[in-house]
Structure 1
Amino acid sequence: MRQLTGVISDRGSKYAVSGGPVGDKSGVDAFLKTLKRDKKFAKATHNSWAVLLTDGTPLKNDDGESGAGMVILRMLEREALMDHVIVVTRWYGGKQLGGDRFRHVQDCVHAYLEALRAG
């Protein structure tokens, strides 16, 4: 599991991004269970995620952050990154972010992909 914490902070909301290889939905469930063993992530407002499986099956979950899973999924499709779940975590800071939240999700996924490329 790779984690980048403190990626973005905006109006009190804080973002982190995590990811790792998975082979199917049960792998995603196991990944999320491991992630949420850390109380900080278990108490997060949103853990939005997506994965594109080798067989072409797209899986995503907004976890209450409407549209976030689709943003992550589209980025995975552009990268042709298969069997690798990416989770964007948000701790809500008390102020609405409007459309900026989509930019923040994208920035988190970009940071994750850069770290993945760098090894």
Structure 2
Amino acid sequence: MRILENVISDRGSKYAVSGGPCRSDAEAKAFIKELCRKKKFAKATHNTWAVLTSDAPLKNDDGEAGAGMVILRMLEREDLRDHIIVVTRWFGGKHLGGDRFRHVQDAVRYYLDDLRSR
């Protein structure tokens, strides 16, 4: 599990991105459960995720409507399979409107860049 914390901050909201190998819905749920063992992530407002498995694309918005699809589209463009990416947001009290989608995209880009540099 790779975690990049505090990648974006806007109007009080803070974002982190994490990911790792994942081949099924059960593994995705286990990944989220492991991530949420860290108290900070368990208290997050949203842990939005997506993964392209050999069976089907999987996503979960966790209350951040549309964010899972944003992650999924980026995974498809990169053809990154069997690897979950989770974008975590701690709500800062002010609504971000459409900027939240840009932040999700930026967080995924940070993660993909970090993955390539390893």
Q: TM-score range by the shorter chain?
A: over 0.9
**Could you list the runs of 4 or more consecutive aligned residues of structure 1 that deviate by over 3 angstroms after TM superposition?**
none
- Cross-structure match for 1:82: 81
Q: Distance in 2 between matches of 1:90 and 1:36?
A: 13
- Matched ranges for 1:98-117 at <5 A: 98-117=97-116
- Cross-structure match for 2:94: 95
- Cross-structure match for 1:11: 11
- TM-score of the two chains, using structure 2 as the length reference: 0.99
AA matched with 1:48: T
Q: CA RMSD in A?
A: 0.5
Cα shift at 1:5:
0.3
AA matched with 1:27: E
AA matched with 1:11: R
Deviations 1:26-69 (A, max 9, x none): 110110010000000000000000000023x0100000001000
User: Which secondary structure does the structure 1 equivalent of 2:94 belong to?
Assistant: coil
Percent identity, please. 73
- Cross-structure match for 1:49: 49
User: Which secondary structure does the structure 2 equivalent of 1:97 belong to?
Assistant: coil
Cα shift at 1:23:
1.2
- TM-score of the two chains, using structure 1 as the length reference: 0.98
User: Which secondary structure does the structure 2 equivalent of 1:95 belong to?
Assistant: coil
